[in-house]
C-alpha cells in the first residue's frame, strides 16, 4: 500500500533499537482498515511489545478526496473479492460515508463498528502492556552540536542521555526490550504496520 515505506520487520527493529538505547517508545497502529487489517491489531501490538514498546495508539482509516478514489481502485485491483466488505465496514464506521471530517470523529469513527474497533484495541493494548502513557519528554540531556553544521548522533555516546534522564531506572533496561525479535505476522498485519508509525520520545517516524 505504501511502496516507499519501511518494511514491517525494519520498524520492529527500530522499536527494539530505540528501547535498548533507553528511549521510551510508543507505536501508532494506523490506519486501521475495517474489514481488512483490524483483526491483526492484537498481533501487531504483541510484536511491538516484545520489541520493547511501552505505549500504543491507533487511527481509523481516513479517505479524504482524492484518496477515496485511489483506495477504491487499489481494492478493485488487489482485493476485488474483499472490496465490498471493506468499503461496507468503513461506511459502518463513518455514519454511512467513506470519510468524516468532524473533529472528534475523524480519527476514531462513529457507530457500533467503530466502538468495536476501539474496544478491540483497548483490550489488546492492555493485554500487551501498552495501555500506559509515555513518560514526559525530557530535554535536560540536550546539547548544541559542537560544530555549527554538526548533528548529534541518536545512539552515540555524545548524543545519548542517562537512563535517569530518560525516565528509566538507573542501570536498567526498558521492559520487554531485547535486540532479537521474532516475527510471526501475516501479510495483513504487515500491511497494517506498513501504514503506521514507530515513534518515541525521539519521534522516529517511518511513514512513507
Quick: pLDDT tens for 143-183.
777 766 666 666 665 544 444 444 544 444 444 444 334 44
Position 203 scores a pLDDT of: 37
Cα–Cα distance measured from residue 75 to residue 81, given in angstroms and rounded to the nearest whole number: 9
Cα dist from 74 to 39, 65, 78, 79, whole Å: 20, 15, 6, 8
Instruction: Give the pLDDT confidence of 55-90 residue by residue, as tens digits.
Output: 999 999 999 889 999 999 999 999 999 999 999 999
According to DSSP, residue 156 is labeled S
Cα–Cα distance measured from residue 192 to residue 84, given in angstroms and rounded to the nearest whole number: 19
Q: Using an 8 Å Cβ cutoff, are 147 and 153 in contact?
A: no
**If we measure between CA atoms, which residue out of 97, 7, 24 comes closest to residue 60?**
97
> Poorest-confidence range of 184-188, 192-196, 198-202?
198-202
Q: Which tops the pLDDT comparison, 143 or 125?
A: 125
Amino acid at each position: 500500500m505504501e511502496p516507499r515505506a519501511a518494511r514491517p520487520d525494519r520498524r520492529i527493529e527500530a522499536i527494539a533499537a530505540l528501547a535498548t538505547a533507553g528511549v521510551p517508545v510508543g507505536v501508532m497502529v494506523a490506519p486501521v482498515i475495517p474489514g481488512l487489517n483490524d483483526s491483526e491489531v492484537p498481533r501487531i501490538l504483541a510484536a511491538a511489545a516484545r520489541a520493547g514498546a511501552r505505549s500504543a495508539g491507533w487511527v481509523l482509516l481516513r479517505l479524504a478526496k482524492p484518496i477515496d478514489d485511489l483506495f477504491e481502485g487499489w481494492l478493485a485491483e488487489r482485493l476485488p473479492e474483499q472490496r465490498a466488505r471493506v468499503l461496507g465496514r468503513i461506511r459502518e464506521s463513518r455514519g454511512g460515508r467513506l470519510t468524516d471530517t468532524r473533529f472528534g470523529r475523524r480519527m476514531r469513527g462513529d457507530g457500533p463498528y467503530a466502538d468495536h474497533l476501539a474496544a478491540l484495541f483497548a483490550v489488546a493494548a492492555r493485554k500487551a502492556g501498552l495501555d500506559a502513557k509515555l513518560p514526559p519528554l525530557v530535554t535536560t540531556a540536550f546539547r548544541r552540536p559542537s560544530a555549527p553544521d554538526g548533528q548529534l548522533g541518536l545512539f552515540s555516546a555524545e548524543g545519548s542521555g542517562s537512563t535517569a534522564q530518560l525516565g528509566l531506572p538507573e542501570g536498567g533496561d526498558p521492559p520487554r526490550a531485547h535486540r532479537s525479535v521474532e516475527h510471526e505476522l501475516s501479510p495483513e498485519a504487515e500491511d497494517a504496520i506498513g501504514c503506521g508509525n514507530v515513534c518515541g520520545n525521539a519521534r522516529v517516524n517511518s511513514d512513507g
